[in-house]
Amino acid sequence: MSDRNGTVRIAAAQPASFSGGEEHRNAAQACAFIDEAAAAGAAYVVFPEGYPGPYSGPMENDALDRVRERARARRVWVSAGRLEHGALPDTYHIAHLMIDDQGEIRARYRRVQPNHPVFNAYLMGGRHHVLPGDELMTADAPFGRIGLLICSELGRSGPDPRRPRSGAAAGGAIALLRRGDPLAPGTRRRGVWLPARAVARPAAGAVRGADPPAGGRLRVPLRAPRPRDVANRVRQDQRRTR
């Protein structure tokens, strides 16, 4: 939702997330974060990579359905993360889903940057064969055109992935303006973080290529890997897990 000055509030959620067999508990926590952000006037709630899941736990996880229901109930847009099955048996994609205020999935971006096996073992419970996606995309929302990326695709690396993880993990958030200038300092406080400044909505026609693409999405296909190369990579990853 935007105010009379034409600005919009965006909320970043920094959860103490659950993993593995307890990952299903993220769903209720994510819905509570959406409630908190909506009550504070946020129009768009952004969750971290792989949250609320499934990511490191069982794929039979209804977190996405529950988040879609809550987005519709609170009339907010949401970016949620999860793993999704790939086209080949026992393969996965890291996905960033953009959900609108009607609970509909407006965009499904699959991370195009290849995932190193160290990260797969550290973050995803040993699912080593995570395949890259094959397109970049943007999605139109009432508050602007949103480009979808995941984690280090933004160009910022985190802690040493080889460091053992104990208990629930928490990350850091940063909000940036269009040119990369900080909108507000980063934080490591767990919970919902709303930058003190709201973001100005772009004026009509101000976005490059302002005419909305079909379906509100702009896709840039990338060269897909050859099926033989993908199959070889999967076999190599499977050998690492034996």
Q: Dump pLDDT digits (tens) for 74-99.
A: 999 999 999 999 988 888 999 999 99
DSSP 128-190: --BPP-SEEEEEEETTEEEE---GGGGS---S-TTS---SSB---EEEE-TTS-EEEEEE--S
CATH 3.60.110.10 is right for the domain spanning 7-159+173-240: yes
pLDDT recorded at residue 114: 74
Per-residue b or e along 159-192, where b marks 16 or more CB atoms closer than 10 Å to that residue's CB: eeeeeeeeeeeebebebeeeeeeeeeeeeeeebb
Instruction: Give the pLDDT score at 98.
Output: 96
Residue 207 has a pLDDT of 43
Closest CA relative to residue 45, chosen from 75, 84, 7, 86: 75
Give me 241's structure tokens. 């897990």
Beta strands 77-85; 44-46: pairing state: parallel
Domain ranges of the chain: 7-159+173-240
Per-residue model confidence as pLDDT tens digits over 165-205? 434 445 555 555 554 455 555 555 567 766 655 555 555 54
Tell which residue, 79, 18, 48, 80, has the closest CA to residue 171. Answer: 48
